Structure 1
Amino acid sequence: MLTPRLARGLYSGALYLLSPLIWWRVWREHALTNKRAERLGLIAAVDETPTVWLHAASVGEVLAARPLIEALAERHADHRLVVTTMTATGAERVRALFPAERYALTHYFLPLDFPGAARRFMRRLRPRLAIIVETELWPNLLAACDRQRVPVVVANARLSEKAFQGYRRVRALLHGALGAVSWLAAKSEADLERFVALGLPRARGDVVGSIKFDLPLNDGFRDEGKRLHSAWGRRFVWVAGSTHDGEDEQVLDAHARLRERDPQALLVLVPRHPQRFAAVAELCMARGERIARRSQGETPDAATSVLLVDTMGELMRFYAAADVAFVGGSLMPIGGHNLLEPAALGVPVLTGPHLENFEDIAATLREAQALREVDDAAALGDALVALADDPEARRGLGAAGEAVVDANRGALEATLAGIAARLPATPTR
């Protein structure tokens, strides 16, 4: 029988065999603000200030963790807060959301999960607590935490059925990794049971809900949204947010269907990844759309059919300006993106069928009749036409979504309480 220790040894051997390919990928995934050596755990050794380390893999996890990071910075101001990401876009979001003039926060890239890199990173960082957002369970990093007796909290933990079936094939490896987890704050009972089936001791997990319901909102979003919509005139505006390759074409097909009924309708198209901005602009022009590009300071006029938001960090602002929002990553088998961002603003939410990463949130919205799901471009176009013709239906759908978000807030406080209970007391000098 394969033991967790042997499984981790085989896993590490496979990583070493694949290291040229892994390093090539990392060489491309780079940010000028960070040294590539961080990928090998080569960070500056910290001083005696107690450190809390939080890992959020990429943009989605950083956005989900934002209220948690803000609360940790406020409530544990006597600790150094270190945030790691895996991707360069995640690093950019950390810098944008937590500027140095307001937050005493350090960012590094997460080291690759080679045993030596993991041990080196932990020796130099010496955190008093590690917090992993969602599902980034790297076996050697967790083993290094266990070796140094660093408590590990998994916050906003989720595990889709599809991911669970994949992890079952390496259950011995996951069993060892989950054995290093001190506490897992699951989004739902189904998520928790999947982690338990993979080896998490049941007593170390609790269902607290999703901290995504606690996303920060302020009147500035709504005010800016109203200002933008007013500047664009009395026209129907819909946002397609976080779209992926293969999805933009379907969004443009749906927009063409809508414009047959309402020629003045405006699409605000927000691709998920910045490396695709130029390609999406070319696609729009090839389809005959009159576009304005946000990155070039262009604003829509009466002839503009598509506003391409080819900038980062502005999605909430444009959701607030929308009559209807479509959340991408859902017409293609990506797993969906955060349905709660437009819902929290009272904006009607449309989505495709692929919602594996947000199945619990989708179920909650669906039960409250706060979500409309479509299967393809034709159905998306039909849903847009129906909502454009029915302001009362839009108001009802938006109000239902906002009510769901308000009713489910509270996971953040439960998560913070669990973290505080596991954060070792700072020794007195």
Structure 2
Amino acid sequence: MRFLYSVAWWLALPLVLGRLWWRGRKEPGYRQHMAERFGFYGVRATNMPLIWVHAVSVGETRAAEPLIDALLRAYPAHGILLTHMTATGRETGRALFGKYGARVVQSFLPYDTGWMVGRFLRHFAPRLCVLMETEVWPNVMAQCARHGVPVVLANARLSQRSLAKARRLSALMMEAARRLTCVAAQTEADAVRIRQLGAPDVQVTGSIKFDVTPPSQMIAQGAMLRARIGPRKVLLCASTREGEETLILDALGGIDLGNSMVVIVPRHPQRFDEVASMIESRGYTLQRRSALGDKVVAPAVQILLGDSMGEMFAYYEACDVAFIGGSLLPLGGQNLIEACAVGKPVLIGPHTFNFSTVSDDAIEAGAARRVNDAQAMIDGACKLLRDDSERMRMGQQALAFARQHRGATARTMALLGPLIR
């Protein structure tokens, strides 16, 4: 089965390369470091022994921050090899870990063929592989076993939907899961599903995302942004996905924003211009964050477009109520923990299957509320924006919820310790 999978990869490579070049029209990062995706590298930037952490994109890279910080503190003689699949993930990694200089080496992970992954492992010779959340690749697992590299799936989550997909490729995915040295699962439900794939050692450690500390610089930046907005109340629509902005703008159509405004931050930067055009075509007065600079947000501005990278904590700090995108449509939702860590009331849509346990726990704790659709979200947000005491109560419960669940990083480090040499 893995042989057929590898053949399929080789046959698809021309199409993959074309798609990569096409995406590079809007995101130049996809046309950079392309040789790395095929297992070709220059001179190693450091001779330190490397702990390899794979974080596919922005969300996983930000989630890995507490773990990478802890690894660098605990193992000063080691460096981190941080790999990604997306250009935005790599950019986020550079922003978060550039302070460590040569101790953090970044690279794209090669496509999942045995030959390319083998070259990657021979070049970097990592002592340990830590895969973040869901990234289990069959040939990566086989090549790590061949080269004697233990593999840990950290901050692991697996939805029921993802389990069903994996079972359709059971011969391939169960072989990969059995090669895992151990798994640090976010919840007991995740652990149960991962065990069903055949992973041999699965322990529940909690979500590392709870250990992310809002950076003081971002909090200060958020306070400055809020000062430029002025006294108006702010609804933040964070990490919105394709199709959701249309629903949100439709719902806003019948609402008098009055003494409030909306901030929309699309999850994918390649959609910034598209969403800006969408907003303006509906007659809303738009301000782009990238063009704001040190100016104040004019009173006539109804919607601020968050077209910047690496500022999500600043947006959370600047808002009064946060809606978490990816949840109005069946996309699985996004991480609500960062909003809770800043003490903001959270609204989520009906589709949160990628974060089902943490979403349900946040609702039970009074930190979040679930809404059925975009109109219910806008109506619920307006009520909270008018009710200072209820909004403050939810914010306090959100902060308490975030603090209560911390400690996953330390538990994960305890699992990794015996494997690091």
Give the aligned partner of residue 328 of structure 2.
331
Per-residue CA deviation, residues 211-248 of structure 1 (Å, 9 max, x unaligned), is: 01111224444444334323322211111111111111
Spell out the pairing of 1:8-407 with structure 2 (5 A cutoff).
8-29=2-23, 31=29, 34-44=32-42, 46=44, 48-99=47-98, 102=101, 104-201=103-200, 204-258=201-255, 260=256, 262-297=257-292, 299-407=296-404
**In 1, are the aligned partners of 2:78 and 2:103 still within 8 Å (CA)?**
no
The amino acid of 2:333's aligned partner reads: G
Give, in whole Å, the separation in 2 of the partners of 1:76 and 1:344. Answer: 28
Distance 1:32 1:353, change over 3 A: closer
User: Number of residues paired by the alignment?
Assistant: 414
Q: How much does 1:26 deviate?
A: 3.1
Per-residue CA deviation, residues 115-152 of structure 1 (Å, 9 max, x unaligned), is: 11011111111111011001111110111100011111
Give, in whole Å, the separation in 2 of the partners of 1:415 and 1:256. Answer: 47
Give, in whole Å, the separation in 1 of the partners of 2:221 and 2:37. Answer: 39
Q: How much does 1:257 deviate?
A: 4.0
Give the aligned partner of residue 3 of structure 1.
none
**In 1, are the aligned partners of 2:213 and 2:341 still within 8 Å (CA)?**
no
The amino acid of 1:294's aligned partner reads: R
Per-residue CA deviation, residues 324-350 of structure 1 (Å, 9 max, x unaligned), is: 011111112211111011111111001
Per-residue CA deviation, residues 141-182 of structure 1 (Å, 9 max, x unaligned), is: 111100011111111000011111000111111121112211
Give, in whole Å, the separation in 2 of the partners of 1:377 and 1:402. Answer: 25
SS at match of 2:347: strand
Give, in whole Å, the separation in 2 of the partners of 1:24 and 1:346. Answer: 44
Q: How much does 1:411 deviate?
A: 0.3
> TM-score when scaled to structure 2?
0.94
SS at match of 1:154: strand
Give, in whole Å, the separation in 1 of the partners of 2:161 and 2:289. Answer: 36
**In 2, are the aligned partners of 1:257 and 1:382 still within 8 Å (CA)?**
no
The amino acid of 1:8's aligned partner reads: R
Give, in whole Å, the separation in 2 of the partners of 1:370 and 1:206. Answer: 27
Q: How much does 1:45 deviate?
A: 5.8
Give the aligned partner of residue 427 of structure 1.
none
**In 1, are the aligned partners of 2:218 and 2:311 still within 8 Å (CA)?**
no
Per-residue CA deviation, residues 15-63 of structure 1 (Å, 9 max, x unaligned), is: 2222222222233455278421111111236475311111000011001
Q: After alignment, is 180-189 or 20-29 more displaced?
A: 20-29
The amino acid of 1:377's aligned partner reads: A
Could you tell me which runs of 5 or more consecutive residues in structure 1 were left unpaired when the two chains were aligned: 1-6, 425-429
**In 1, are the aligned partners of 2:184 and 2:412 still within 8 Å (CA)?**
yes
CA RMSD of aligned residues (A): 1.7
Q: Percent identity?
A: 41
Could you tell me which runs of 5 or more consecutive residues in structure 2 were left unpaired when the two chains were aligned: none
